[in-house]
Structure 1
Amino acid sequence: MDVEQVAERLGTTVRFPRRLIEERRIEYVKVGRHVRIRESVVEAYMAANTVQPRRSSTALRAVA
């Protein structure tokens, strides 16, 4: 995937995946001056940064 496709998949502007690349927070392949990111890497990044919702306080009171 190119940077534009990654941005679209993440729902961000192209600036965000470019920053991930610059900070080496995501694995990428450089082909000449082009940067490519495997779809599996994007999926792994999303899975690693997914935050699960907390149980609501009302649900906690119902259990106790």
Structure 2
Amino acid sequence: MVPDILDTRDAASYVRLAVVTMERLRLTGDGPPFCKLGKAVRYRKADLDAWLASRLVQSTSSGA
């Protein structure tokens, strides 16, 4: 079972991306919403699911 709050490593694993990709998406603002708790970055599982759903496309010609 996946916990509701994930660190960057676990969030990257959950969405099948590299940690460095998650970090880059966070810096550019293109990634899922995240929380800062002191220096720690955390992602809510619901936000990761919503972010993935928002990136669904019907064909390669309609993709980003």
TM-score, normalization by structure 2: 0.72
Alignment length (residue pairs):
54
Of structures 1 and 2, the one with the larger relative CO (CA 8 A, separation 6+) is: 2
* Identity value in percent: 26
Give the gaps of 5 or more residues in structure 1: 55-64
1:53, CA displacement in angstroms?
4.8
* Cα RMSD for the two superposed structures: 1.6
Give the gaps of 5 or more residues in structure 2: 1-5
TM-score, normalization by structure 1: 0.72
Considering fraction of residues, name the structure with more strand: 2
